[in-house]
Amino acid sequence: MGLQIIKPDTNLDFIGIRKIAFILSAVLILAGLGSLAIKGGPKYGIDFAGGMIVQVKIDKAIGVGDIKDAVADLKLPGLVVQTLGLEGDHEYLIRTSSSNITSEEVRTKINKALSDNLKAGFEIQRLEMVGPKVGADLRSQALEALFYAVLLIAVYISGRFEQRWTAAAVMAAALAGGVYGIGLLGLDMGWLILVALVITLGLCWYLKLNYALGAVVALIHDVLITVGLFSIMNKEFDLTIIAALLTIVGYSLNDTIIVFDRIRENTIAKQGKLTFGKIINLSVNQTLSRTILTSGTTLLVVLCLYVMGGSVIHDFALALLIGITVGTYSSIFVASPILYGFGPSEPREEEAEA
């Protein structure tokens, strides 16, 4: 028998507290959406908004504040200074959202400012520039990547758990046609993806692809909460955060599939013996030990990255910490209750007791 930290006979009533879980999720999502609305959307990093990154190596340890003070007179917009690499490397990143001047002008100005204000030798090792057009293209491609990941997951779940590959194919074809038609209206990519996600959920509901509906709602829930908390904390969104969000989608799906697999097995084995709500409770309790062990060990690794990985991957690790925690929660308290609400039309506990 494998390691278990939850007793095999545990019988927690997860379905019974689903309303409390829904309220908690709604509060977190609304808080995040409120923050995004107040701030006019996410705070984009250089990858998406355009700007420059300058990597500097200094002969001795210098505080980040000292470097920021040294280049303060340049009045570069959106100036951010970060440490890079290990503590003894003495390497730093200077990031600015300015894209109205050439890279050579920036190199010359930063070189002069550091020479005049720092009492240490230094070398500019790298200078990268991302134009506004490239940033906008990257932003659109990142949104598309997230959307198609969710769409393909919906198709896979529909065939994997409900053996309805034809319905899944119909959903994919209808969605592709809908997205193409909406795209002819010239909508911004963000609005296009939002409408496409609504169509995806509507098709899952209409075609009664209930496993897919539960999984997709849970994935959207995880992404919205992670993005909302990043907005509340005033963190920047760049390509590393998109990579983190895609990782979160995959990790959350893995947890959800484990729970759904057990629900399907128990539905076949105990059909007519237990109501669907009790089958879901039984399945979640049976997989609870595995879920906690897997998520706990993953979180320990990500926490080490967050604490000791340096400032360059700090936000990436933070996004994973939030996303893995929320993803574990959603596989139990969001995906399974959604499946319960739209699942087989068997008598529920309330009806059985009546």
CA dist 340 → 16, 333, 350 (Å): 11, 11, 13
Local confidence pLDDT in tens for the 354 residues of the chain: 455 666 767 788 899 999 999 999 999 999 999 999 998 888 887 777 777 888 888 888 787 888 888 888 887 777 778 777 656 667 888 888 766 677 788 888 888 888 888 877 888 888 877 766 666 677 777 777 777 777 777 777 777 777 677 877 887 787 777 767 776 776 666 677 777 778 788 888 888 888 888 888 998 899 999 999 999 998 888 888 888 888 888 888 888 888 998 998 888 887 778 888 899 999 999 888 888 888 889 999 999 988 887 767 888 999 999 999 999 999 999 999 999 988 754 444 443 443
Residue 100, pLDDT score: 67
Q: DSSP assignment of 283-294, as one string? A: HHHHHHHHHHHH
What values do phi and psi take at 28, rounded to 5? -65, -40
**pTM of the full structure:** 0.80
292-295 long-range contacts, CB within 8 A, separation 24+ = 292/5, 292/6, 293/3, 293/5, 294/255, 295/255, 295/324, 295/325, 295/328
What is the per-residue burial (b if ≥16 Cβ within 10 Å, else e) of 335-350? Answer: bbbbbbebbeebebbe
Contact 293, 3 (CB under 8 A): yes
CA distance 93 to 339: 47
Supply the pLDDT for residue 3.
57
Q: Residues 310, 312, 314, 316: what is their CA dihedral angle, to the nearest 10 degrees?
A: -140
pLDDT of residue 349: 44
- What pLDDT shows up at residue 11? 81
